[in-house]
Structure 1
Amino acid sequence: MEAQILPQPKFNENLGALTARELVLDMKAKIKCQQLAVTGQKSKAWDLLKKKITSAKIEDALTSAKIYVNGHKFTILRPLGEGGYSTVYEVYSRDKKLYALKIVNLAIHADCVKQDLIREIVFLEKLKKCDLVVKAFDYELRKTEDEHKMFVLMEKGDKDFHQILEEHRNRKSLSPAKLRYFWEEMLEAVLELHENNIIHTDLKPGNFLLVGGQLKIIDFGLAMELRAGQDYAYRKFVGGTNKYLSPESLSGGSSFDPSGSKLCTKSDVWALGIVLYQAVYGVLPFSSVPGGRAAKLNATNDPNIPVDFEVSSSIDPHLLDTMKRCLEKNPEKRASIKELLVHPYLRPELGSKIEQVSSTCNVCKKKGRKLAKISSQRNQQTLSQ
């Protein structure tokens, strides 16, 4: 290796010895900076190379991961999401079509939970004609000595509503019109379930998937079906996502109510109210309650602790009323999906009519009709004279 010839400092005798020494030190400092810069560039180059190698290894591993559903081969591209019960992957078939493949590990769950998770196939089959429910194309239950899993092949969406909310929050771009649009989409989707006598029981932003510009409902692992002529279904365990559980859902399996949770379609309305509250305020109800997760769940179930709503001039009064009607702790007083779809928040033209009808009681209406009749008789007598 050739020795590097360093530039020599120019020495001017007229400057004196002290100035010459400063020039030498300055030159050494510059050389050291150049060496550090070269070292840094090498380090950055090596970090970039390592990242590429690691990325390539991961890509190769996923590309080489093959999975079969009822004998049909799929290639796993990447994980899309993971929940408490399952993992969802993006896969493509031999004809290069993209799907979402949900894999549920049934071996790690209790028998009662297994049956509920397996019944998801039944619900998806029953709802396959619903436009606002994610489409399922194939299923397989696989039980061997090594594994006990369920595979569900579904249509792939673009992003879920949780991701949509995060993007809009970061950009501060969730306008009132967009929020109203998404709210109506969610209501329409849930209405399809309720008209088919199905309660989802686990509604949350992550279970609304944007597919071709429409929000569709996914994940029926904890759904329940209402029997003909019944308005309620019973569950002996607390199932769902804690943050979105209704007050009546939290009583399941307790010593006070051994029959379990008494659930109805209004339980889904509560969860939708939480989603709307989160979109409006950026936080969940009872987030300010001290004491951790257990204290917040107790606050949800306690009829003496109301939901706190921040009132400001920037919040549409009809939007505020919608949230209040969804987050009514008594399910009998809580609004239904059909009522929310004709609420003035979505149908402003109905606002004045609804207010007029609601503000006049039946007694007043009868008195009004009697007075109108008397007035008419007097006018007729006056004309006859």
Structure 2
Amino acid sequence: MNEIQVNKKVYARLDLIGKGGSSRVFRVITYANELFALKKVALDKTDSETMAGYMNEIALLKRLEGNSRIIRLIDSEVKPGPGGNKGHLYLVMECGEIDLARLISERGTEGLDMVWVAYYWQQMLQAVQVIHDEKIVHSDLKPGNFVLVRGQLKLIDFGIANAIANDTTNIQRDHQIGTLNYMSPEAIELPDGMRRLKVGRSSDVWSLGCILYQMIYGSTPFSQLTIYQKMKAIPDPNFEIPYPEYSVPVIPASKSSQSEPKRLEHLRKKVRSDVIANMQSCLNRNPKDRMTIPELLQEDWLAMKERRDKRVLHGPITQVWYPAGPERPHLPE
């Protein structure tokens, strides 16, 4: 069993749990039988921009220390290599048992369970609210960025998160960021050809809306499109996002047997109208018309209360109250 020292503390390496670019993430254990995740970054293979991202991540995790919805940084150290080699950066963090991407995947062939959705959606909102309160935009929210630590959902991976300049709502970005299936229109759009990108708190709300959509329907709003089609459709107000009245689990097509996807119609469940209204608000092409996280946290369906409908009518949120039932007044889209 390999041992790794960080600031003279010894960690025994158990297994590789993730890798990407110049970094590897190992599950490690101390002599006191404490489990941690250890990220090892090869600095020789890291350009200055990526290195700045790691330093940014360390600074943000230290700043957010003590928040129960944010992954905890235990220790960090830069170790120079032999003979002028740049060496490695080591980050020791809390170890998650499973990420939200795998949780969603494992529930993929089960019927919609709104108690399960509400439980994790609320914890996601709380985590992102923590960073927004600290004037930080994450910019790369996706299910893989949320992990369960002792049963509680926590936000991880701050490589491209950035502090919001001068306490304004937006920060400027010089290039594309984030993960396309969850990327907001304003992160893709370049109205004047080379204009820099405005990414604010509401961009994270769009990404959260994509995750909620995936939890409800089993796939993200633009998952069926090619990369080029996604780049065109996400900012396009004329491309309508479907919000089916029913959620139907699907068994994906098998690549080996070339079978077609199979819809499990016997597990179809009606989606609450207020949940659909929340998704529509999060996925509004106009960032100013999206609900805020504090507003989303006040929604009745999180506590499984009697439903009420909310629709965004080209501006402020309009609430329409009525008892649940088959006869429902028509609401303008």
Kindly state the Cα deviation for residue 349 of structure 1 after the two structures are TM-superposed. 4.8
1:190 is paired with a residue whose SS is helix
Kindly state the Cα deviation for residue 104 of structure 1 after the two structures are TM-superposed. 2.7
Specify which of 301, 307, 328 is matched with residue 241 of structure 2. Answer: 307
Q: Percent identity?
A: 32
Question: Which residue identity is paired with 2:300?
Answer: P
Relative to total residues, which structure has the larger helix share, 1 or 2?
A: 1
Match in the other structure for 1:59? none
Query: Number of residues paired by the alignment?
Result: 292
- The CA deviation string for residues 59-102 of structure 1, in whole angstroms up to 9 with x for no partner, is xxxx2x22221222211101112245632110012333211111
Match in the other structure for 2:140? 202
Kindly state the Cα deviation for residue 353 of structure 1 after the two structures are TM-superposed. 10
Q: 1:230 to 1:101 in 2, by over 3 A?
A: same
**Cα RMSD after superposing both structures:** 2.5
Q: Distance in 1 between matches of 2:20 and 2:215?
A: 21
**Does 2:192 match 1:236?**
no
Question: Which residue identity is paired with 2:270?
Answer: S
Question: Normalised by the size of structure 2, how large is the TM-score?
Answer: 0.80
- The CA deviation string for residues 337-383 of structure 1, in whole angstroms up to 9 with x for no partner, is 0111112332565865989x8459xxxxxxxxxxxxxxxxxxxxxxx
2:210 is paired with a residue whose SS is helix
Q: Distance in 2 between matches of 1:251 and 1:105?
A: 34
1:67 is paired with a residue whose SS is strand
- Which protein is bigger by CA-based radius of gyration? 1
Question: Which residue identity is paired with 2:176?
Answer: V
Q: Distance in 1 between matches of 2:141 and 2:274?
A: 23
Q: Distance in 2 between matches of 1:232 and 1:286?
A: 25
Question: Which residue identity is paired with 2:163?
Answer: E
In 2, are the aligned partners of 1:299 and 1:305 still within 8 Å (CA)?
A: yes
Q: Distance in 2 between matches of 1:85 and 1:184?
A: 34
Match in the other structure for 1:286? 222
Q: Distance in 2 between matches of 1:298 and 1:104?
A: 35
Instruction: List aligned pairs for 1:247-262, cutoff 5 A.
Output: 247-251=185-189, 256-258=193-195, 260-262=196-198
The more displaced of 91-100 and 115-124 is: 91-100
In 1, are the aligned partners of 2:309 and 2:320 still within 8 Å (CA)?
A: no
The more displaced of 86-95 and 264-273 is: 86-95
Match in the other structure for 1:211? 149
**Does 2:203 match 1:264?**
no
In 2, are the aligned partners of 1:107 and 1:148 still within 8 Å (CA)?
A: yes
Specify which of 126, 147, 161 is matched with residue 223 of structure 1. Answer: 161
Q: Distance in 2 between matches of 1:160 and 1:191?
A: 19
Q: Distance in 1 between matches of 2:41 and 2:240?
A: 37
The more displaced of 183-192 and 87-96 is: 87-96
2:16 is paired with a residue whose SS is strand
Specify which of 119, 135, 138 is matched with residue 75 of structure 2. Answer: 138
Match in the other structure for 1:113? 50
2:51 is paired with a residue whose SS is helix
Q: Distance in 2 between matches of 1:84 and 1:242?
A: 18
Q: 1:150 to 1:131 in 2, by over 3 A?
A: same
1:169 is paired with a residue whose SS is coil
Relative to total residues, which structure has the larger strand share, 1 or 2?
A: 2
Q: Gaps (5+ residues) in structure 2?
A: 247-268, 312-317, 322-333
In 1, are the aligned partners of 2:72 and 2:93 still within 8 Å (CA)?
A: yes
Q: Distance in 1 between matches of 2:86 and 2:242?
A: 47
**Does 2:127 match 1:166?**
no
2:237 is paired with a residue whose SS is coil
Question: Normalised by the size of structure 1, how large is the TM-score?
Answer: 0.70
Match in the other structure for 1:94? 31
In 2, are the aligned partners of 1:322 and 1:345 still within 8 Å (CA)?
A: no
Q: Distance in 1 between matches of 2:271 and 2:18?
A: 33
Q: Gaps (5+ residues) in structure 1?
A: 1-62, 361-385
Q: Distance in 2 between matches of 1:96 and 1:193?
A: 31
Match in the other structure for 2:288? 332
